[in-house]
Structure 1
């Protein structure tokens, strides 16, 4: 029976996850992980620019760090690495896991999507998640633009109780985020909270748990084709 394109893609993804879940206990495996990180996961660009920025005195945002950048983060006092991408189908993953283990960095997941409506249960759990972290913490996605920006905005709004407009500055072109493409659904998520919650005196947590409709956000959010082309084909965002 012939598999559909989607099934074939999922099958390849599972093989990649299984491959990079193994320890890097041979030179060949380590070499393959580095090559995959640099060329397949576009890590070559992150050697030049990590898109690393402070969000507060105890929370930082960045692109996927290289092993050397993770070691530098540990030297700078970072205690926790928050992985926003999953990314277990890339060579970056076993390298990151290995450095975190060797340097005593806590590695935790809070997986987000850059092009889809944020999951209600995941966002509702954010407050407890932030409370559980050992700070200072560094949150990263692949490019440090979209999911890192969303997580930083969420951190400021939920954990530090900052105003919405201040939190939204984390979703900005200066970090490489573009709201005119599919990634703009992250901006629209917060704008819906403004209209449906904030302006009516409803707390963010209550809005997420009782009013927020991910399906409606997915259905009603519109982009333009050239913006999607830029994000998907040129910048190759996840």
Structure 2
């Protein structure tokens, strides 16, 4: 008879106390080692995509200060969502010290976006103070889709130009589940197939009236087995 040992439940992660020396050391370890901050020490994947908007990977506290001083950043949009991990606690502290408004707006890199998220992004871009910077962990996927939305909805650039924000130039690779982001925009292109660019249905009208999130996701997953699965290799969230 085989005796099965029940899996231990993971304990909720308790936030480090930045008011103590040990807590600050722990937060720093979580940033540098747990969140791969050492890889970002010399590479920020930083790009200016419009006069008042930047995109990047997860900034260190020192980089937050640099953004405030060198670029006059007033708002940082954290696309990873709030967290108890050191990378977030230290970023939040640095933003408060630099007078930057830290806005948490969680986006997912391996799922098709919801209608609520798309319209939420539009509203977010309308209410924040500029200049602004948005980031995820790598600056490739979540920062990519949000950059496309920013260029479409706020800067009003043509779709083909906006979509370039989701490309290998910014380290986005579509040959994994992050390809769901590409599938979303592919669906919009297919809907307008055969029409002149000026006759395309407005993007938000398509999202509201025609976009079937689960259908796009299902179609992608059905074809996913033929794609190169590299999510684990890249270590993406």
What is the aligned partner in structure 1 of residue 22 from structure 2? 28
Distance in structure 1 (CA, Å) of the matches to 2:5 and 2:130: 46
Match in the other structure for 1:202: 201
Aligned length: 227
- Asked if the contact 2:57–2:140 (Cα under 8 Å) also holds between the matched residues in 1, the reply is yes
- Give the equivalent residue in structure 1 for 2:178: 183
Aligned to 2:224: 223
Contact 2:175 2:227 in 1 (8 A): no
Check if 1:123 corresponds to 2:118: yes
The structural deviation recorded for 1:231 is 2.3
- Show structure 2 runs of 5+ residues with no match: none
Equivalent-residue separation in structure 1 for 2:188 and 2:5 (angstroms):
41
**2:78 counterpart residue number:** 83
Residue 38 of structure 1 deviates from its aligned partner by: 0.7
User: Could you say which residue in structure 2 is the equivalent of 1:154?
Assistant: 149
Q: In structure 2, which of residues 97, 101, 115 is the aligned counterpart of residue 102 of structure 1?
A: 97
- Asked if the contact 2:121–2:146 (Cα under 8 Å) also holds between the matched residues in 1, the reply is no
2:53 aligns to what?
59
Residues 1:37 and 2:38 are matched in the alignment: no
Larger radius of gyration between Structure 1 and Structure 2: 2
Q: CA RMSD in A?
A: 2.2
Aligned-residue offset at 1:181:
1.3
Which 4+ runs in 1 deviate beyond 6 A? 2-5
Q: Which has the higher helix share?
A: 1
Measured in 1, the distance between the counterparts of 2:5 and 2:119 equals 36
The unaligned stretches of length 5 or more in structure 1 are none
